[in-house]
């Protein structure tokens, strides 16, 4: 059986359209949703991700305000930028592109953000709310994976989902989200300490590869009919390509596509979903801020606003 190829671009386009409609409604209220994008250094992959995010923001009628800092920027200076963005009412979301230069403590920077503006969902408060089922922004890539599964009608209730990779950005949050009651999957996480990942993936109804290792998932590791979601984005040197590299996922695409029930391509699978979910988070952050302001203009709104600041 050949797998159904999941068109991440098409699903993402639907989400981007929703973001655009909601942004236009805010614009009519005099609020233009704005994401501050902070980039330290010149990592080529980060530069291209940031460019893609800014293009998508513009396409959805939102502002992307870029803050470019040199690779040698001090941590205190970067924290100063975050504090200023926290205080700036025209900024609704803050995104600090990762990885940061190695002399900067990522945790300190992420924790300095106002969780109300943490549209990446990386702040400890956001992560806590995600795990506990509270309000807060969901991280974009894991949320995008969930939406892809839902939109493709891939059954998750009682399914065994095997995640490869335990990063803070993808593997760990995916495990929390997939095991939520409304998704109801049974989750296994494989990582570099797992002796034989194939033992687990062969049993999986859903495989999510997020390890950053090209070719990690071979056809022999996949059960017939399984859904295979490839989060890997690996730049592999290729002198025949204009860019000098090509993008490969973590999945041995051709052979696995012969066996799986569903598969996401790289590029064009999960990647576009990450950007689309970011747009939805930015518009939601702007809606929350606009509603807090308009609510504060009524008596009950003033009480609610005061309570929020207790």
Catalytic residues: 53, 97, 120
Please report, as residue ranges, which positions from 268 to 287 form the binding site for ligand GUN (by CB under 6 A): 274
Regarding 140 and contact with ligand GUN (CB under 6 A), the answer is yes
Q: How far is the CB of 170 from ligand GUN (least distance, A)?
A: 8
Query: How would you write the chain as a 3-class SS string?
Result: CCCEECCHHHHHHHHHHHHHHHHHHHHHCCCCCEEEEEEECCCHHHHHHHHHHHHHHHHCCCEEEEEEECCCCCHHHHHHHHHHHHHCCCCCEEEECCCCCCCCCHHHHHHHCCHHHCCCCCCHHHHHHHHHCCCCCCCHHHHHHHHHHHHCCCCCCCCEEEEECCCCCCHHHHHHHHCCCCCCCEEEEECCCCCCHHHHHCCCCEEEECCCCCCCECHHHCCCCCEEEECCCEEEECCCCCCCEEEECCECHHHHHHHCCEECCCCCCHHHHHHHHHHHHHHHHHHHHHHHHHHCCCHHHHHHHHHHCC
What character string, x for contact with ligand GUN (CB under 6 A) and - otherwise, covers 98-137?
A: x---------------------x-----------------
Closer residue to ligand GUN (CB): 137 or 262: 137
Closer residue to ligand GUN (CB): 137 or 200: 137
Regarding 96 and contact with ligand GUN (CB under 6 A), the answer is yes
Q: How far is the CB of 140 from ligand GUN (least distance, A)?
A: 5
Which range touches ligand GUN (CB under 6 A), out of 74-82, 92-100, 188-196, 259-267? 92-100
Regarding 40 and contact with ligand GUN (CB under 6 A), the answer is no
Regarding 145 and contact with ligand GUN (CB under 6 A), the answer is no
The residue whose Cβ lies closest to ligand GUN is 98
Regarding 230 and contact with ligand GUN (CB under 6 A), the answer is no
Pick from 60, 113, 141, 175 the residue near ligand GUN by CB under 6 A.
141
Q: How far is the CB of 278 from ligand GUN (least distance, A)?
A: 7
Binding residues vs ligand GUN (CB under 6 A): 95-98, 120, 140-141, 169, 274
């Amino acid at each position: 059986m050949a797998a159904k190829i999941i068109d991440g671009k098409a699903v993402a386009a639907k989400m981007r359209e929703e973001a655009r409609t909601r942004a236009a409604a805010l614009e009519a209220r005099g609020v233009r949703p704005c994401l501050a994008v902070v980039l330290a250094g010149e990592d080529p992959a980060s530069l291209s991700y940031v460019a893609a995010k800014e293009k998508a923001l513009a396409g959805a009628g939102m502002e992307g305000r870029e803050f470019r800092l040199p690779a040698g920027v001090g941590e205190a200076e970067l924290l100063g930028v975050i504090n200023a963005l926290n205080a700036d009412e025209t900024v609704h979301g803050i995104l600090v592109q990762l990885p940061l230069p190695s002399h900067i403590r990522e945790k300190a920077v992420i924790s300095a953000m106002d969780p109300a503006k943490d549209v990446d969902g990386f702040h400890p408060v956001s992560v806590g709310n995600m795990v506990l089922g509270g309000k807060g922004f969901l991280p974009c890539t894991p949320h995008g994976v969930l939406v892809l599964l839902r939109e493709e009608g891939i059954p998750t209730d009682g399914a065994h989902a095997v995640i490869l990779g335990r990063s803070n950005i993808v593997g760990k949050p995916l495990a929390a989200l997939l095991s939520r009651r409304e998704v109801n999957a049974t989750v296994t996480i494989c990582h570099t300490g797992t002796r034989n990942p194939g033992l687990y993936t062969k049993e999986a109804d859903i495989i999510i590869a997020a390890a950053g290792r090209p070719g990690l998932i071979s056809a022999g590791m996949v059960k017939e009919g399984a859904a295979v979601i490839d989060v890997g984005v690996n730049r592999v040197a290729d002198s025949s390509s204009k860019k000098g590299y090509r993008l490969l996922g973590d999945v041995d695409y051709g052979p696995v596509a012969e066996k799986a029930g569903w598969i996401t391509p790289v590029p064009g699978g999960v990647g576009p979903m990450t950007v689309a979910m970011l747009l939805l988070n930015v518009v939601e952050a702007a809606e929350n801020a606009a509603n807090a302001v308009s609510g504060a203009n009524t008596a009950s709104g003033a009480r609610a606003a005061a309570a929020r600041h207790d």
